[in-house]
Structure 1
Amino acid sequence: MLEVTNLRKVYPTGDEALTGVSTTIEGNEIVAMIGPSGAGKSTFIRCINRLTEPTEGEVTLDGTELTALDSGEMKTARRNVGMVFQEYNLVERLTVMENVLSGRLGYVSNWAALRRNFPQEDVEMAYDILETVGLGGMENKRADELSGGQRQRVGIARAVVQEPKILLADEPTSSLDPDTSHAVMELLTEIAAERNIPVLINIHEVHLAVEYADRILGLHEGELVFDGPTTDLDENAKDVIYRGKALAGESSSNYVEGSDTVTGETEPTDKSTITGD
């Protein structure tokens, strides 16, 4: 289970990217984080695995407080947090297999890692996962020979081979065509079910979030303003997330208590601004 408590991120410029976000993610649920550009979605995900250091707050994964670990301890703890990146983050000159096996670097010595000498069971696991993500037989191709969708599948395989307790995906479909985007979302859903791990996805395409996620987290200007099941993401909820104000007279139990952005009147929303397309 992932527990995030009062997470804040303030940059040296004074810009506050996160204003005290708290939430819990558990089981094998698919959680989609949506919101306008600059809302803090990527910052939130990167603070969880401390690729970005939070200013305040706690992040706890299965009882281990990640925010309290020193750099050496955090290196080990990152084995439990799989990460799928927007721009794939592959080493282009390496093969598919070498990129996938890089997900096992946290389990081998520095000398073995330098020599790319992985245990046979790790190699066999990588082969199995490549089959799972639809890349069986492509293990010897270089990463720079792959399409965008294939590269993202390599990134997913690399994250899964870590055997993580949670999978984070930072805009995994932003560089993909519609059909490939659906395929990637289906794959993430299958992995959550088969591995019994939660998946947190930062995504701009609201229609994909609605189709594949069990739950929606809505961020607006660094503040968590909506936390509820996908079925409750109506037009008024989108107004709260994307414009910061609920329509007059509207309320929902899914609006986060203490949020400053969900009261007051606003003009009717131009729906084209909140589709995420």
Structure 2
Amino acid sequence: MLSVENLEKTYSSGDEALKGVSMEVSGNEVVAIIGPSGAGKSTFIRCINQLTEPTSGSIELDGVDLTGLSDGELRDQRRNMGMIFQEYGLVERLSVMENVLAGRLGYLSAWNAFRRDFPEEDVRHARATLDRVGLGGHDDNRADELSGGQRQRVGIARAVVQRPKILLVDEPTSSLDPETSRAVMQLLTEIAADEDIPVLINIHEVELALEYADRVVGLADGRLVFEGSPSDLDENARDTIYRATAESSSDPDGDAEGSNGTDPRMITESR
């Protein structure tokens, strides 16, 4: 289970990207984070895997506090968090198989990682995972030969072969056409069920969040202002999440998404 309590992030510029955000993610639920550009969504995801260091608060994964870890401890814990990036995060010149097997590098010794000497079991699992995401037979293709949707599937396969305890997904559909976006979201929900792990998705296409998420969380100006099921969303909550767009751009990490929304029960302050 992921447990986040009173998470805050203030940048050196004084911008407050997160203001006491708390939430839990457990089981095999799919949780979508929505909100306007600058709401803090990308910062929240990046704080969980420590790509961005939070200013204060606690982040626990299965009882292990992820804040304040040594480099070695953080390396070990990152194996438990599969990260799927908006821009895919692939090494373009490497093959599909090499990119997927990168998800196992954290389990190798430094020497074997340098040599890319993976156990045969890892290779079999990677090949089976490529079949699972619809890329069987593409093992030897270079990543830069693939379409955007195929690249995103490689990123998903790489995260799955880590055998993580949670999948963290940052804008997986922002560069994809509608049909491919739906296929990617369907794949993520299937993985959550099949692997019995939760998936936390930062997404700006609210209709996709409504269709595929079990729970929706709304951020606005760095605060959690809504949490509920997709059926809880109403116009009043949408207004609460999206009314302050221009003045709430306090997220230097990007958080670049549109503000086409939908929304539910309002939370006046973070828990």
Q: How does the TM-score come out when normalised to structure 1?
A: 0.89
The structure that has the greater radius of gyration is: 1
Match of 2:75 in 1: 75
* Alignment correspondent of 1:185: 185
**Residue of structure 1 equivalent to 2:160:** 160
**Residues 149-204 of structure 1, C-alpha deviations (whole Å, 9 max, x = no match):** 00000000000000000001000000000000000000000000000000000000
Q: Note the C-alpha offset of 1:255.
A: 2.4
Q: Which runs of 4+ in 1 moved over 4 A?
A: none
Unpaired segments ≥5 residues, structure 2: 245-262
Supply the distance in 2 between the matched residues of 1:2 and 1:137 (Cα, whole angstroms).
35
Gaps of 5+ in 1: 245-251, 260-277
* Bigger mean CA deviation after superposition, 211-220 or 65-74: 65-74
Aligned counterparts of 1:155 and 1:63: Cα–Cα separation in 2:
27
Where does residue 250 of structure 2 map in the other structure? none
Partner of 2:259: none
Name the structure, 1 or 2, with higher relative contact order (CA <8 Å, separation 6+).
Answer: 2
State the distance in 1 between where 2:235 and 2:162 align.
39
Query: Which residue matches 1:247?
Result: none
Task: Name the SS of the counterpart of 1:227 in structure 2.
Answer: strand
> Which residue type is aligned with residue 258 of structure 1?
E
Could you tell me how far apart the structure 2 residues matched to 1:117 and 1:253 are?
Answer: 49
Q: Give CA-to-partner distance per residue, 1:48-84, whole Å, 9 cap, x none.
A: 0001110100000011111131121001100000000
Cα distance in structure 2, aligned partners of 1:97 and 1:160: 13
CA deviation vs aligned residue, 1:27-55 (integer Å, no higher than 9, x gap): 10010000000100000000000011101
Q: Is the 8 A contact 2:234 2:264 kept in 1?
A: no
CA distance in 2, matches of 1:25, 1:6: 15
Q: Deviations over 1:232-261 (max 9, x none)?
A: 0111111111115xxxxxxx99422536xx
Deviation of the 1:107 alpha carbon: 0.3
5 Å-filtered alignment, 1:135-214, equals 135-214=135-214
Identity score, percent: 69
Q: TM-score, normalised by structure 2?
A: 0.91
> Per-residue displacement from partner, 1:112-143 (whole Å, max 9, x unpaired)?
11111000000011011101100001010000
The total of aligned residue pairs comes to 253
Which residue of 1 is the match for residue 7 of structure 2?
7
RMSD over aligned Cα, in angstroms? 1.4
